């Protein structure tokens, strides 16, 4: 995806669910339409919904009913800069993040951009959940180390489940 500044995000992204997170020359936002196809995003598979719901509950939050799943694909050397997930209208719902494929270093900071970050190694199958007081915490992914994963090959796939719609 492109950025407002005319660059490209190094991490490849797509979505499933009612809305998807997109970035282009106009900036970033959630949209019901995939700009690449002109069609709505594929439905969020019910198994994905169960994983998100159960992970949120296991982490002590209310059951999450995700309406968006951002799919990130990292190749070696790609990274995600420090940011907050704050484009969702429902900030009461946690974020559920599932890691697959190559391991990565997830950096989890505080509510201020300059707060120190904690390094968390995330391996295939690991799930990170943040919400409540940490919902707007800054976070990042360090440049991916080269490697070969038995199932995913030379890449890491991350799924983040989000509740975007405003609470009823
Ligand atoms: O890849 C990850 O572990 C985090 C992804 C993320 O923060 C995002 O998509 O907003
Ligand atoms: Mn994020």
Q: What would the pLDDT profile of 121-159 be if each residue is shown by its tens digit? A: 999 999 999 999 999 999 999 999 999 999 999 999 999
Ligand 1 center–CA 150 separation, angstroms: 22
Q: What would the pLDDT profile of 57-102 be if each residue is shown by its tens digit? A: 999 999 999 999 999 999 999 999 999 999 999 999 999 999 999 9
Domain residue ranges in the chain: 12-162
Q: Which residues line ligand 1 (CB under 6 A)?
A: 70, 72, 80, 85, 97, 99, 106, 139, 141, 158, 160
Burial of 152 (0-12, 13-18, 19+ CB in 10 A): middle
Q: How confident is the model at residue 37 (pLDDT cuts 50, 70, 90)?
A: very high
What residues flank ion ligand 2 with Cβ within 5 A? 85
From the list 150, 160, 143, the residue with the least C-alpha distance to 105 is 143
Assign domain 12-162 one CATH number from 3.20.20.70, 1.10.260.40, 2.60.120.590, 3.40.50.150: 2.60.120.590
Ligand 2 center–CA 143 separation, angstroms: 15
Query: Does residue 168 register a pLDDT over 90?
Result: no
Interior/surface letters 70-106, b for 16+ CB within 10 angstroms, e for the rest: bbbbbeeebbbeeeebeebebeebbbbbbbbbbbbbb
Q: What would the pLDDT profile of 109-119 be if each residue is shown by its tens digit? A: 999 999 999 99
Q: Whole-prediction pTM value?
A: 0.96
Q: How confident is the model at residue 167 (pLDDT cuts 50, 70, 90)?
A: confident
Strand, helix or coil at 161?
A: strand
pLDDT of 60 reads 97
pLDDT of 166 reads 79
Ligand 1 center–CA 114 separation, angstroms: 19
């Amino acid at each position: 995806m492109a950025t407002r500044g005319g660059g490209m995000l190094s991490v490849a992204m797509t979505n499933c669910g009612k809305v998807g997170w997109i970035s282009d020359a106009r900036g970033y936002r959630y949209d019901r339409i995939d700009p690449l196809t002109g069609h709505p995003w594929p439905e969020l598979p019910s198994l994905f919904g169960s994983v998100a719901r159960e992970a949120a509950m296991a982490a002590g939050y209310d059951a999450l009913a995700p309406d968006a799943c951002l799919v990130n694909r990292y190749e070696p050397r790609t990274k995600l800069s420090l940011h907050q997930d704050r484009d969702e209208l429902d900030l009461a719902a946690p974020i559920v993040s599932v890691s697959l494929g190559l391991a990565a270093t997830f950096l989890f900071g505080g509510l201020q951009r300059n707060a120190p970050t904690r390094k968390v190694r995330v391996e295939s199958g690991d799930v990170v959940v943040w919400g409540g007081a940490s919902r707007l915490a800054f976070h990042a992914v360090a440049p991916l180390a080269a490697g070969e994963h038995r199932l995913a090959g030379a890449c890491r796939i991350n799924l983040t489940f989000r509740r975007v719609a405003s609470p009823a």
